Structures are given as C-alpha cells and as structure tokens.
Amino acid sequence: MANRNKDFLMVSKDILPDAIVKTAQAKELLAKGDCATVNDAAERAGISRSAFYKYKDGVFPFYEVSKERIITISLILENIAGVLSNTLNFIASFRGNVLTINQGIPLQGIANVSIAFDTADMVDTPEHLLVGLSEIEGVRKIEVIGQN
C-alpha cells in the first residue's frame, strides 16, 4: 500500500464533508463490483468525477485501512457470567484472532477489558464486528483504542 508512510486519523464520517463521504462510498461500489467504472460509481454516490479523483487517494474505509492489522478495543462489561465469553465468541465468529485480553478486577458490577485481535482473516468488516459487539447483552461501551 503506497500510503504506509502517511499519517492517518480515525474520524467519524458524521463530521466529514459530503464529498469525502461520497468518495468513500464510490470506492466501495467499485471494490464490491457494484459499478464497473469510476463514472458509474461517482454518479451512484452523488459526486462528480473530479471530486472523486481529488479525494480517492486519501479516503479509505475503516475496514480497508485495518485489514491485516491488529486492532485493540476497550470495553466496559457488566460483571455477569458469560459476557466476556460471549464477546470472545463473537470475535471468533468473525474469524478475528484474539491476541491479548486484559481484564481488571470488576468493581461495582463493572469490568474494564481490553482485547487486541488480528483482522487479517476476518470474514466481515471491523465496523460490523464492533456493531455486533455493542449489541451483546452486558456490553456497556466499546471504544477502539489503537491499531497497528
């Protein structure tokens, strides 16, 4: 990947200008094969071709940047039997390879946990993994704290 020496930021797409968000959408349409040409993808995403070409080399969906990388997440879990096990099983269902687990002693019914996992063989995107993790009963909060 030619961009390995560039600095990256993880930014919520909610605060980005439409042109950047639509460029990412157009790139995804092309990557999935839903559109055969840049012109088609740009049109479907609602962006001009010139805007697409302006931003295309600097916009990457989170899953693309994180592919073959280690992601570390911080979780706040309720101290209920099976919550951590369900969390780990969910990561495994995505074929995420758990590398480390650090759990603090639960205090007042809450446990802080950090999990580092490899995304190289995942069958879906990290975004979908994080959304699914947030829906597990007993998971109160999830935050991405690092990527390698």
What CATH architecture is 66-147? 2-Layer Sandwich (3.30)
As a whole number, mean pLDDT of residues 106-132 equals 91
**pLDDT tens digit sequence for 52-66:** 999 888 887 655 554
DSSP state of 29: H
CB 115 within 8 A of CB 142: no
In this prediction, residue 62 carries a pLDDT of 59
Its pTM stands at: 0.58
Q: What is the pLDDT of residue 117?
A: 94
- 96 — phi, psi (to 5°)? -75, 135
Query: Whole-number mean pLDDT of the chain?
Result: 86
Per-residue pLDDT at 63:
56
Distance between CA atoms of residues 94 and 74, nearest Å: 18
Residue 67 has pLDDT above 60, yes or no: no
Residues 6+ apart with CB under 8 A from 123: 94, 95
41, 50, 55, 58, 138 from 124: Cα distances, Å: 22, 31, 25, 23, 23
User: What is the structure's pLDDT at 22?
Assistant: 92
